[in-house]
Amino acid sequence: MKTKRVFIGIFGRRNNGKSSLVNALAGQDVAIVSDVAGTTTDPVRKSMEIFGIGPVVLVDTAGIDDVGELGRQRVRKSIEALKTVDAAILVLTHNVFDEPEQEIIRQFKTYEVPFVIVHNKSDEEPMSNTLKSELGKWSVPIVECASNTKKGIDELITALVKTVPESAHQPDTLVGDLIADGDEVCLVMPQDGEAPEGRLILPQVQVIRDLLDNHAIAVAVQPEELENYLSTRKPKLIITDSQVFAAVSKIVPAEVPLTSFSIILSRAKGNFELFLKGTSAIGNLRDGDHILMMESCTHVSSCEDIGRHKIPTLLQKVTGKRLQFDFVAALEPLPEHLENYALAIQCGGCMVTKKQLRNRVAQLSDQGIPVTNYGMTIAYLTGIFARVTEMF
């Protein structure tokens, strides 16, 4: 099976050589390197291979000590990036270890990001024994580097190999645990006016790829062909676009397991149980309640119609409540006052990693806001919630 790309974030003060460290690891000019403090603003991502780790994305972030309103926004973006990485490098120089460094370590701990500490520019000033013993309390690898001369880079790579957790490499199987080699799985994929021209949407592509990886037989039909197909075949499982749940559930015999692409994705991303629980909050909605719709597309949304129109319309129609909807896309920061929301509804999240989605959803669940997803919401509203979730 294919290995997953590992995300490694690089954090530290302005002008302490983070960007040249990225370049030393990547072996090329990726980030802008300058002696002027604060050259990196938005996180800069670079894909590369590191021997011993495999494919990685290095995420170079702005300085954690940035000042002013713009500076605070940059620090906020760096913290957002921190929530999405599998491991991190905290870069220090000139034996400076103070509040910004302690705060970023607190964030590593909160978001369970394993990290390595690098004392960079050691050719200018080596690390003192006092700092060494202070950092010892974190029990993490500490490496002395001079990134401009690549001194210490091999030691850093060795430390990263030990630090990146095994789980960061493991591909998320979508259906591998539900089927055996040779099983036939039917995918119901409407290609209507809302479907993108000339291609399939990513959740469908990912499920097909996963079925092939697991040596299953993938059969794709549009809803119109489903009845005819089922007259001669009995698939092990049917996965449908949740938009056609109502029609499909009437056709599929009760003994054939049925679910949707977004419910399958919620299992792989590790939010299934939380969404399962959160769905019941639909029954408690009241007039005027605010709902947060979260779609994780990193560019043009492939599920815009379902998230922006179909679910809001269906939700109000079935509950009979007048509801207010807010929308957030990709990994943009969530609204400040999450306590204002009665419910959040997340898309399948096919374009983001497990960790990115988990940390995003945790910001709501930590405040007691119920969260569900597109597929479970439609299933609940069409009265087939138990049927499409009971097999898990």
The footprint of ligand SF4 (CB under 6 A) covers 201-203, 295-297, 301-303, 347-351
**67: its two tokens:** 């000042």
Smallest separation (angstroms) from ligand SF4 to the CB of 209: 14
Distance CA 21, CA 13 (A): 13
CB 181 within 8 A of CB 216: yes
Residue with Cβ nearer ligand SF4 (35 or 197): 197
8 A C-beta contact, residue 251 and residue 231: no
- Terminal CA-CA length for the chain: 23
Nearest to 243 by CA among 387, 343, 382, 389: 382
CB of 82 to ligand SF4, least distance (A): 21
Contacts of 44 (CB under 8 A, 6+ apart): 19, 22, 30, 31, 59, 60
Query: In angstroms, what is the minimal distance from the CB of 348 to ligand SF4?
Result: 3
User: Which residue, 135 or 347, is less far from ligand SF4 as judged by CB?
Assistant: 347
Give least dist CB 388 to ligand SF4, A.
17
State how far the Cα of 338 lies from the Cα of 264, in Å rounded to an integer.
27
Closest separation in Å from C-beta 333 to ligand SF4 = 17
Q: Give the three-state DSSP class for 22.
A: helix
CB of 374: closest distance to ligand SF4 in angstroms?
Answer: 7
Residue 137 C-alpha from the chain's centroid: 31
Whole-angstrom distance, CA of residue 177 vs CA of residue 175: 6
**Cross-sheet strand order for the sheet of 371-373:** 324-329, 290-295, 341-346, 371-373
Shortest distance, CB of residue 201 to ligand SF4, whole angstroms?
5
Task: Give the Cα separation of 311 and 168 in Å (integer).
Answer: 33
